[in-house]
Amino acid sequence: MAQDDEKARKAGFMSSRCERFVVHIGGHKCGSTAIQEYCALNQDELLSKGVHYPANLFSGYPMQHSALASYLAEGNSSYLEDVFFEVVRYANMQGASTVFMSGEELCKSSPDSVKMLTNLVEKYFDSWKFVFVERNAKEFLLSSYKHHLRYAPTLSETAFSREIIGFSPKAAIEIWREFFTLDGLFIHYDQIKENILPTFFKTALGIEIRTTYHANESLDYLFLQIINTFLKEWPSEKIENIIWDVTQRHPDKMTFSVEDCIADDIRSLLLEDEWRPVEFRGDRSLLGDVGKVRAKGHNPVAVCNKMLDLFGTLRTHFLEIGNNDDEDIDAIKQQPSNQ
């Protein structure tokens, strides 16, 4: 009886459907974190513009909706129907005509997962579209490689290559167009990264926002190689904080020509067909390569100063925690510090 009452309640609610559903499906390394953090921290502002962004919707994902990909893959339609029911109910209570979700893991969804999402969306919305942001292949690969160095539990380049080779932007776009909607919006990250949030929200949702928030900059390659080793050998929150502090003290962006070689090498592992430029409705290419060598962007003295600061700060940290034999500590204390 209770189940029948619940079905009747939902059936009655269906008469007040929501006007539009917009889902940002990624891709990775294209400003998703900046978009999601802004939405989660500015829900009231978005509501004032008619957009409901449901933060804290899924456990473990307070600011975004990548968990939706997992629930879809599991076929958990009953749970997701309850989730969407409550999301739309709240949107209507607040007078929002649009529900917006964002989760970059969604770009890896299978046809069955996308079809399940479509079945859900059809029950609650009058129209829907997906937004896919991508960048040129070499920059994507290099940024992904840096992310792997920073966060992967091991130093395995093999694991990184296997993960990257398994992703196809072309296939992702085709799946979403075939099983969700042809109304797909494609944004090239390299064309909006200097003003990512205002441009994204204007293009994807048709709303104006003002913010100085920027997409997070990747740590430079040399810094990552060093700090990655320390994090794997001596993982701690303190070392995480040291990374942040040193980065803030040396904010100038540093790029190295060796990065171009790395990106080219990884790029050669990918199937060319899966990364060809994608054309849609006459728009310019979504994907493709910049076609120029990454220029060095650093001063060698500035690089040395940053490394001295990093090692000096780490040295002080390890001395303070006594993470050495007594003889080693005495020897280190007798050595001159370069700070």
Whether residue 229 sits in one domain with residue 197: no
The alpha carbon dihedral of 135, 136, 137, 141 has a sign of negative
The parent domain of residue 17 ranges over 7-136+167-205
- Return d(Cα 22, Cα 223) in angstroms, integer: 38
pLDDT above 80: residue 47: yes
- Residues 119-147, buried b or exposed e (16+ Cβ, 10 A)? ebbeebbeebbbbbbbbbbbbbbbbbbbb
Q: pLDDT by residue (tens digit) across 284-307? A: 444 444 444 455 567 889 889 999
Whether residue 291 sits in one domain with residue 178: no
What pLDDT is recorded for position 298? 72
pTM of the model: 0.76
1 in any annotated domain: no
Whether residue 225 sits in one domain with residue 179: no
Phi, psi of 21 (to 5 degrees): -120, 125
What pLDDT is recorded for position 189? 85
What pLDDT is recorded for position 338? 45
Whether residue 242 sits in one domain with residue 199: no
Binned at pLDDT 50, 70 and 90, residue 217 comes out as: low
Whether residue 120 sits in one domain with residue 17: yes
320 in any annotated domain: yes
Whether residue 227 sits in one domain with residue 194: no
**Proportion of the chain above pLDDT 90, given as a percent:** 42
What pLDDT is recorded for position 156? 60
Whether residue 228 sits in one domain with residue 199: no
pLDDT above 50: residue 113: yes
